[in-house]
Structures are given as structure tokens and as C-alpha cells.
Amino acid sequence: MNIEDPRLRGDKFKIEEFRMKLNILCIGDVVGRPGKRILADNLGTIVNQQQIDCVIVNAENAAGGSGLTRRIYEKLLKYGVDLITLGDHAFKKKDIITVLEDSDNIARPANLSAHAAGKSFALCKIKKGPIVAAVPLIGRIFMKPADSPYDCIDALLPKLENQADIIFVDMHAEATSEKISMGYYLDGRVACVFGTHTHVVTADEKILPKGTAYITDIGMTGAHHSVLGRKIEPVLKNFRTQMPCPFEIATEDARLNGIVVTVDSNTKKAEKISRIEFKDQKSESISYDSDDGKPDHNNGFE
């Protein structure tokens, strides 16, 4: 992606040119075919109705419930997605590696190893002019080893100040306390900190004291008659018997979860944050399609 911005060329930046309100839509973990379909069918309508300027989507569960493929990445962009964040399943599908290395609009968690493939933040210049950055961070409680997200974001923000006008942080973590802590840590330093990974939307959206929008989890885009997007019966069987079994993608009650954040591009602070939920009227019984590839039957909900 070629981002044309005077600051990247060393020209003097005139902040007066960017005094406007921006509506940023953040969509929670897209899980499998049901999540992709409701996104494909309804994102355009939501963008028009809510006057959205930029769409950020966590898509690490989009391919059969675990990972992302090049083909799905390309389809998400066609649906109207501007920026894509990933989490602990960032590298589950091999063919996403080249996408991560070559594209500016998708990022893996910034606090993974510096030697890991991909970029630590994603950038998009929106039609109104400003550049929006999405920075994924991954938690360390009940998660695989990762570097300190605090040290990582401290090192990253000074670099981003010369490349982006508005910064959103996706805190992909298991523990709610870890997400809340990051929200307060970045209050006043970024426009928004939103949580992902646990797939259950929380009711604590707020504007923090120094102007950062915050919510612990923006929820899941997928089948909600489920256990975090997976069919109920095999999950119950696993919990009851402690025996491994396939956690297949559920299909019933598809919903799209997310937030809309209004940001003042002059102050770079949030003015409003609202939860949204779009319930699909369609019913289907297909869990997977050709885009998903071979289903991942390892036990796990992420």
C-alpha cells in the first residue's frame, strides 16, 4: 500500500487541514464462515448508516476458526475492511506469511519476537485525509510467551507519531485485568484501546479521563448459539469427560459485534464510543467453505 502523506516526505504538516470528526468501526473476532458471511452481507450497510470512515477487523479466527489465509484477507478488503489485526493465531495458516511481510494494512501482535514475520502496526489513509494506525498487542496471562506489551508500545508510539494521525490499539488478551490496565496505561496517548480474544462483548465502554476510548472486549462476529463460535455439544463433552474431540464451527444465530468510536482528528482524542450488534436474519447449516481450507480440530476456543 502506497501511503501519500506530507509528513512521510518531510514536508511541513498543517494541522488545520485535519480538523474533523472521524468515525472508526472496530469489529470483534470474525469466526469462520458464519462470521465472514454476516460481514460480507452487512458491512456496507453499516458503514453507510453509521457514516464510518475506517473499518478495523480482528480476523485471526476467520479461516475455519483458526488463522487467516491470503484468499480470505483479499475478500475482507473487498467487503470494505481497511485494517486487519491478528492475535495468537496469526501464523496458523502458512500462506498468510507473505501477506504479512508485503502489506501495510495488516499486522500481527507487536510484542511478538522482533524476528517474527510481519509488521507491528497497520496503516490506512482514509478518504478524509488522516492516516489511521491499528496496533495489535498480545497479553501474557494465560497466553503463550510474549515480550512486555508495555515496553513494546512505549518504543512504538514515538515512531508512529510521524506516520499516523489516529492510533487504535487492539489488546488481544485473556485476562480482563490485563486489558483494563493497558487502557489506563495508554490513556491520553492513543485514541482507543479495545480488547479482543475472549469473544464475549463487555458492557464497560467509556472515555477514560485523558480522552482515550476503552472497552474490555468488543465481542465476536460469528454464530452466537455456540460456545465462543464453536458447536455446543462437543465443547460440553470435552469439559465433562476431559477427552479430546473436534470443536467444529457453529452456524446458528449469526451476529456482528463491534464498536464505533468518534475521534477528533485535531486533538486525536475520542469523543464517543458506542457498542453495536447486528443480528442476521438468515439461517444456514454450513460450517466451512473452500476458503477455510482443512478445518482445525485442535481443542481450543481462541
Q: What are the tens digits of pLDDT across the range 130-171?
A: 999 999 999 999 999 999 999 999 999 999 989 999 999 999
Flag whether 160 is in a domain: yes
CB 270 within 8 A of CB 261: yes
Flag whether 61 is in a domain: yes
The conformation of residue 214, written as its DSSP 8-state character, comes to E
| pLDDT over 80 (residue 59) | yes
Q: What CA–CA distance (Å, rounded) separates 4 from 263?
A: 21
Flag whether 147 is in a domain: yes
| Cβ neighbours, 10 Å, residue 97 | 16
| pLDDT over 90 (residue 111) | yes
Average pLDDT, the chain: 90
pLDDT band at 288 (very low <50, low <70, confident <90, very high): confident
89 is catalytic: yes
Domain, as residue range, for 218: 20-281
Strands 192-196 and 54-58: unpaired
Q: What is the CATH number of the domain that holds 226?
A: 3.60.21.10
| pLDDT over 80 (residue 76) | yes
Residue 301's pLDDT is 45
**Number of domains making up the chain:** 1
Flag whether 300 is in a domain: no
Q: What CA–CA distance (Å, rounded) separates 191 from 262?
A: 9
Q: What CA–CA distance (Å, rounded) separates 218 from 276?
A: 9
3-class SS of residue 112: coil
Flag whether 293 is in a domain: no
Residue 18's pLDDT is 46
| 220 DSSP β-pair partners | 29
Catalytic pick among 89, 197, 199, 224:
89
Flag whether 289 is in a domain: no
